[in-house]
Amino acid sequence: MDDAEIERFRQQLSQMLKALSIGEDLGRDATRTVTLDQQAVGRLSRMDALQQQAMAKAQSARRAQSLTRIQAALARIDNGEFGYCLDCGDAISAKRLGLDPAVPKCISCARG
Ligand SMILES: [Zn+2]
């Protein structure tokens, strides 16, 4: 992989980071709106509220996980390990990285 390619991936990863933090803000807003509606209208059952809360939590956990993956990928770029499988050290295919530049493993290791 040449420097220009790595630079493209770095930019892609930074954009993914940015999109995630925007999502986090939107998520917080959505949660707040739901809470207010519930108090004002009292239409949502406790069950619904709990379910929504659980979904918001799961989403937030997924975001945190993606954040970690992306930050780890950016760190790998910095120390020259980007594009190599964390498990076996083989090069990860460009096609695979193109789909998800934060992917940490080659296809055979990811499959187990
Ligand atoms: Zn591997």
How far is C-alpha 38 from the geometric centre of its chain's CA atoms? Answer: 30
For residue 52, tell me if it sits in a domain: yes
- When pLDDT is averaged across residues 57-71 and rounded to a whole number, the result is 93
Distance 7 CA to ligand 1 centre (A): 23
- The mean pLDDT of the chain is 87
Distance 81 CA to ligand 1 centre (A): 13
CB atoms within 10 A of CB 12: 17
Predicted structure pTM score: 0.77
For residue 42, tell me if it sits in a domain: yes
Measured CA to CA, the distance from residue 95 to residue 59 in angstroms comes to 27
How confident is the model at residue 42, as a pLDDT? 61
Q: In the beta sheet, which residues pair with residue 91? A: 84
What are 78's two structure tokens?
């910095």
For residue 59, tell me if it sits in a domain: yes
Distance 93 CA to ligand 1 centre (A): 11
The count of domains in the chain is 1
Distance 108 CA to ligand 1 centre (A): 6
For residue 33, tell me if it sits in a domain: yes
Share of the chain above pLDDT 90, in %: 64
Residues with Cβ within 5 Å of ion ligand 1? Answer: 85, 87-88, 106, 109
Q: Quick one: 44 exposed, middle or buried, by C-beta within 10 A (0-12, 13-18, 19+)?
A: middle
Residue 61's domain comprises 3-82
